[in-house]
């Protein structure tokens, strides 16, 4: 069996981001790396978006960025600006292509379809394959998006609609998300926050069709691309093997109140690269505990009071956009945290704070 210095299990967002970060900082000149990835071909399968609060290696994979966004509940819309931290979207197809082109040039990097072909015992392993013991009774952000193209110019390409709660909630939490790439192309997503036990929420195609026709008033369009997924709003079981670090979703890089993961993955990759010489002894990288604590209470409120959530999300944005964005991107200071907390319905949150975990 072949031996390697490092092994990355899962060549998705986290695995490839880490390999690229190590490669461009010359950490793989004298070290060998195996990437285990079962997929047969890389093609565009995700659209990664975030407020750009930190730098990353993939500027050339950015499809578009925006400095205006809106949030709405029935009868009310907020228009907000984010000039300091634009909302940015990465095309996963460009991301995979850029990284694989770079990695393929280094003979020290090998690709495998299964870990059965290599020896894991003497290598340092970075694992991005999560273990989900019980999927039931857990919250997920699940969604389907379509990139549509229209004949006429119908979109205002300068502004995204981050959350449109003016839709059927079905005793759960549901919103639409629209990213206009140009005047006649946009990604429209239907998104649910729920335990995924209710299959009736998964008629995504009907939801999208109805929203596009009756809400966006677009009758004539074609679909160029679709994506579907579910982001766990809980931490997957962590395997605590010696000489293994979990990365990506498996490594707890998702911000549980929002599902945002991409930039946390980039920051984790940088941390590993900086500490690669001493990685077995290195302190575990994690999302700051204050966010984990606050998100836990937020998710309890969300789970127990779904009907209140559209208003709660809406009032989150009663704050300055800078405060909200920094808070949602793990970059806020204490004053900014407090300004967010004070705009939440206090008694509801305090009650959930003192409830025991089930």
CA–CA distance, 247 with 269 (Å, rounded to integer): 8
For position 201 contacting ligand FAD by CB under 6 A, the verdict is no
> Quick one: 259 or 352, whose CB is closer to ligand FAD?
259
Query: In the stretch 228-257, what mask flags binding to ligand FAD with x, by CB under 6 A?
Result: -x-x----------------xxx-------
Q: Which stretch binds ligand FAD (CB under 6 A): 37-45, 147-155, 320-328, 334-342?
A: 37-45
Q: Least separation, in Å, of the C-beta of 128 and ligand FAD?
A: 4
Q: Which stretch binds ligand FAD (CB under 6 A): 74-82, 172-180, 260-268, 332-340?
A: 260-268
Q: Which stretch binds ligand FAD (CB under 6 A): 8-16, 74-82, 234-242, 283-291?
A: 8-16
Q: Least separation, in Å, of the C-beta of 217 and ligand FAD?
A: 26
For position 61 contacting ligand FAD by CB under 6 A, the verdict is no
Q: For residue 123, give both structure tokens.
A: 């290598």
Alpha carbons within 13 A on the beta-carbon side of 202: 10
Task: Using CB under 6 A, pick the residue from 2, 3, 38, 284 that binds ligand FAD.
Answer: 38
> Quick one: 262 or 352, whose CB is closer to ligand FAD?
262
If DSSP states are collapsed to H, E and C, what string results for the chain?
CECCCEEEECCCHHHHHHHHHHHHCCCCCCCCEEEECCCCCCCCCCEEEEECCCCCCCHHHEEEEECEEEEEECCEEEEEECCCCCEEEEEHHHHHHHHHHHHCCCCCEEEECCHHHECCCCCEEEECCCECCCCCCCCEEEEEEEEEEECCCCCCCCEEEEEECCCCCCCCEEEEEEEEEECCEEEEEEEEEECCCCHHHHCHHHHHHHHHHHHCCCCCEEEEEEEEEEEECCCCECCCCCCEEECHHHHCCCCCCCCCCHHHHHHHHHHHHHCHHHHHHCCCCCCCHHHHHHHHHHHHHHHHCHHHHHHHHHHHCCCCHHHHHHHHCCCCCHHHHHHHHCCCCHHHHHHHHCCCCC
> Quick one: 187 or 312, whose CB is closer to ligand FAD?
187
Task: Using CB under 6 A, pick the residue from 227, 267, 286, 337 that binds ligand FAD.
Answer: 227
For position 48 contacting ligand FAD by CB under 6 A, the verdict is yes
Contact set for ligand FAD, span 80-109 (CB under 6 A): none
Q: Which stretch binds ligand FAD (CB under 6 A): 42-50, 195-203, 296-304, 311-319?
A: 42-50
The residue of the chain with the least Cβ separation from ligand FAD equals 12
Pairing relationship of beta strands 124-127 and 244-246 according to DSSP bridges: parallel
Task: Using CB under 6 A, pick the residue from 7, 8, 13, 73 that binds ligand FAD.
Answer: 13
> Quick one: 174 or 352, whose CB is closer to ligand FAD?
174
Q: Which residues share a beta bridge with 81?
A: 68
* Cβ–Cβ < 8 Å for 207, 190: yes
- Maximum CA extent, the chain: 64
For position 43 contacting ligand FAD by CB under 6 A, the verdict is no
> Quick one: 56 or 185, whose CB is closer to ligand FAD?
56
Task: Using CB under 6 A, pick the residue from 9, 71, 123, 186 that binds ligand FAD.
Answer: 9
Q: For residue 81, give both structure tokens.
A: 């600006």
For position 20 contacting ligand FAD by CB under 6 A, the verdict is no
For position 303 contacting ligand FAD by CB under 6 A, the verdict is no
For position 150 contacting ligand FAD by CB under 6 A, the verdict is no
Q: Give the number of residues in contact with ligand FAD, rule: CB under 6 A.
A: 29
> Quick one: 247 or 316, whose CB is closer to ligand FAD?
247
Which chain residues interact with ligand FAD by CB under 6 A? 9-15, 36-39, 46-50, 128-129, 227, 229, 231, 248-250, 259-262, 265
């Amino acid at each position: 069996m072949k031996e390697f210095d490092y092994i990355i299990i899962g060549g998705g967002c986290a695995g490839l981001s880490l390999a690229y970060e190590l490669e461009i900082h010359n950490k793989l000149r004298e070290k060998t790396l195996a990437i285990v990835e079962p997929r047969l071909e890389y093609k565009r399968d995700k659209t990664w978006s975030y407020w750009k609060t930190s730098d990353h290696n993939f500027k050339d994979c950015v499809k578009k960025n925006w400095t205006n966004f809106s949030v709405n509940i029935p009868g009310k819309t907020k228009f907000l600006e984010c000039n300091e931290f634009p909302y940015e979207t990465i095309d996963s197809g460009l991301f995979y292509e850029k990284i694989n082109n770079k990695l393929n040039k280094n003979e020290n990097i090998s690709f495998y379809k299964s870990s059965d072909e290599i020896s894991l015992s003497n290598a340092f392993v970075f694992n991005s394959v999560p273990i989900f013991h019980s999927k039931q009774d857990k919250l997920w952000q699940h969604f389907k998006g379509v990139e549509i193209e229209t004949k006429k110019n119908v979109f205002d390409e300068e502004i995204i609609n981050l959350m449109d709660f003016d839709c059927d909630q079905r005793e759960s939490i549901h919103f639409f998300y629209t990213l206009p790439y140009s005047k006649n192309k946009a990604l429209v997503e239907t998104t649910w926050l729920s335990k995924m036990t209710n299959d009736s929420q998964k008629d995504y195609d009907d939801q999208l069709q109805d929203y596009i026709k009756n809400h966006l008033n677009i009758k004539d369009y074609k679909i160029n691309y679709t994506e579907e997924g579910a982001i766990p709003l809980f931490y997957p079981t962590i395997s605590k093997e010696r000489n293994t670090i979990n990365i990506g979703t498996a490594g707890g890089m998702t911000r549980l109140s929002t599902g945002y993961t991409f930039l946390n993955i980039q920051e984790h990759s940088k941390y590993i690269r900086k500490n690669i010489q001493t990685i077995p002894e290195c302190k575990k990288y994690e999302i700051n505990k204050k966010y984990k604590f606050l998100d836990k209470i937020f998710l309890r409120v969300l789970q127990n009071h779904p009907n209140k959530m559209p208003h709660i999300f809406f009032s989150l944005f009663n704050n300055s956009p800078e405060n909200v964005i920094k808070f949602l991107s793990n970059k806020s200071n204490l004053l900014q945290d407090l300004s967010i907390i004070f705009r939440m319905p206090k008694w509801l949150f305090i009650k959930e704070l003192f409830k025991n975990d089930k």
